[in-house]
Amino acid sequence: MLMRVMICVFPVPAHLMPLVPFAWALQSAGHDVCVASPPGYPSGVAVPDFARVVNAAGLTAVPCGEPAPLSIHDMAYPGYADLLPTREESESYVDALGIRDKKDRDAWDAFYHFALLTIRDYHPPEPRPDIGALVEFARSWEPDLVLWEPWFPAGAIAAGVAGAAHARILISPDSTAWAHERCVAAGRTSLLAEAMRPLAERYGLAVDDELLFGDWTVDPNLPGLRLPTAVPTVPARFVPYTGAAVRQEWLDTPPERPRVAVSLGSSGREFLKGDWGRTAKLMEAVADLDIEVVATLNANQLEDVPDGVPANVRVVEYVPLDQLLPSCAATINHGSYGTFMASVAKRVPQLICDTDEPARLYGTATDAGIDWEFQCEKAQYASTTSAYVTECGAGVRLNHQVQSPSEIRELLGAVLEETSYREGARSLHEEWLTLPSPAGIVPRLEELTALHRAGKARN
C-alpha cells in the first residue's frame, strides 16, 4: 500500500535535519511525503521562510498559515508571562518527582527549560491560526501517516482530526515521555498534557497517551542514551543529514598531517556574539601542534580571536560534516546531538566541550520584554554526549572554564596518539550499525500504519 505521509516539525533546521533521511526513505519507497509546518518567523528561535529549508533538502514543503511571532519567545500570546519557565516551578517539580541524580536532572532540564518552552510557543492556551491551518491541511489532504517530532506535537492533533496513524520521531533522548511518566507516577500535573489540552479540546480529542506520544515512537538513539519510558518504540539508526553543498576540492586531497575538525554549532551563532572565550582557548591549544585544523566557524564565533587564527587552522564558515569528517582523525565539538551522531557515523573520536554548570533557562516578564536568564556556556546536550563518549572510550570531555590551553593540547594529543580512542570510536560506530537504517524500517512503518489506521475516524 502506498501512503500519504505528512511530517510535522518545529520550523528550524536543527529539528528538520534528523528527519530528512526518514523522509527520503519513505519517498524512495514510493510514498507521497510532505513536510507541513508554520512558515517560520525571524525570531532567533524559529527561522523565516522555512519552506526554503525544506525544499533545499529535496522535500515538498507545506507552509501553513501566515508568518507570525512565537507565542512565548516573541510575547505574542497575551498571557505569555504565565508560561515562562521559572526557577520556582521547576524546583517544585524536581522535589515532587524525587529527582536526585545528575542524569535525571539533565533529563528534566531538557524537558522543562527547552522542550516545554518550545512546545508552548506553538501550543499556547488560545490556539494559533497557523496551527489551525496545519490541522485543516491534514483534514483536506487525508494522510495515512503523520510523523512528528516531540517539540512540535501539533502533528498529533492533525493526525487525530484526519483519522491518520501517527508516530513521533525522536531527535534526542525522550525527555518528554520520561517527564510525563514521572509526573503521573508522582501524582503531579503533567505539564506536557496541560500544554496540549486546549488544542486537543478544540478538536474534540482526548488527551491520552496516544495523543501525547503517538501510536508508536521511532527511536534513533543509541541504546545507552535512551531514557526509560513505557512507550512502544521502533528502534532506528540516526543517519545524520548535515546539509548539501558543492564539494570543495581540497577535501579530495588526503591531509599530510592529522586533520582535526572544530565545529561549535550553527543554531545560535547567528545571534550570539562571541563564544565565552572558548574559541580563543581552543585556537591557542592547537597552535603548536603538527596538525591541520578545519574550523567551521563564522564571524560571531571568531569575535573572541581578533588577531586571527593560527597558521595551521583553515576557517570554513560552512562545510557539511559528512563531507569533512571522513578525512578527520578527531573532532572538537560542542556536543549537540546532531554533531555527536555525525561523528559516531563517521567513526571519529571526539573531544566534547562541556562545563560543570546546569543548562537551564528562566524568563521574567518586564516592561521592556523578557529578561532571560541563561548563563551556561555549553550546548544543551553537551553533558549527556560528553559523558557517553567518555564512558565508551571514544573521546574526552573539554571544559574551557577550568582547563588551560596546554591541558587541552595534551588531551587532544592523547586522543590523536592513543589507539584506544580510535577503538572506542569504532565500537560506538559498530553499535550504531546494528540499528536498522531509515530505509530498513519502512516496511515496519507500513505495517504499523495499516494496523493503527484501521478503525480511526476523521474528526
The answer on 290 and 232 residing in a single domain is no
CATH code at position 375: 3.40.50.2000
Question: Which whole number is the average pLDDT over 224-235?
Answer: 97
| Crossing angle of the two packed helices 154-162 and 129-141, in degrees rounded to 10 | 40
* Integer Cα distance of 6 and 162 in angstroms: 11
One domain for residues 171 and 280: no
The answer to whether the CB of 1 falls within 8 A of the CB of 137 is no
Q: Strand pairing partners for 7?
A: 35, 147
pLDDT, mean of residues 219-230:
97
Other beta carbons less than 10 A from residue 103's beta carbon: 13
Give the per-residue pLDDT at 44.
80
Does residue 298 carry a pLDDT above 90? no
Same structural domain for residues 127 and 27? yes
| CB < 8 Å & 24+ apart, contacts of 84-88 | 84/117, 84/362, 84/363, 84/364, 84/365, 84/370, 85/112, 85/113, 85/116, 85/117, 85/360, 85/361, 85/362, 85/363, 86/362, 86/363, 86/364, 87/362
Amino acid 58: pLDDT: 97
- My answer on whether 307 and 273 are in the same domain is yes
Which triple of cell numbers denotes residue 458? 476523521
Confidence at residue 243, expressed as pLDDT on a 0 to 100 scale: 87
Same domain, 108 and 234: yes
Residue range 391-449, pLDDT digits in tens: 999 999 999 999 999 999 999 999 999 999 999 999 999 999 999 999 999 999 999 99
| Nearest-angstrom CA–CA distance, 336 and 101 | 22
In a domain, 114, yes or no: yes
| pLDDT, average across residues 133-147 | 98
What SS3 state is found at 66?
A: coil
Same domain? 322 vs 221: no
What's the distance, CA 263 to chain centroid? 16
Mean per-residue pLDDT over the chain, rounded: 95
- DSSP state string for 306-332: TT---TTEEE-S---HHHHGGG-SEEE
> How many structural domains does the chain have?
2
Please give the radius of gyration of the chain, using alpha carbons only, rounded to the nearest integer: 22
What is the C-alpha separation between 284 and 269, in angstroms, rounded? 21
| Residue at 314: amino acid letter | R
For the stretch 164-201, pLDDT in tens is 999 999 999 999 999 999 999 999 999 999 999 999 99
Q: Are residues 89 and 105 in the same domain?
A: yes
Provide the pairing of β-strand 350-353 with 330-333.
parallel
Range of the domain at 56: 4-238+435-453
At 447, list the grid cell: 505495517
Confidence (pLDDT) at 82: 97
Whether residue 234 is found in the same domain as residue 260 = no
How far, in Å, are 46, 67, 231 from residue 50 at the CA level?
A: 8, 10, 31
Backbone conformation region of residue 163, classed left if phi is above 0, alpha if psi is from -120 to 50, else beta:
left
The structure's pTM equals 0.95
In this structure, is residue 244 part of a structural domain? no
Q: Is residue 314 domain-shared with residue 231, that is, in the same domain?
A: no
pLDDT of 267 above 70: no
Q: Do 373 and 399 share a structural domain?
A: yes
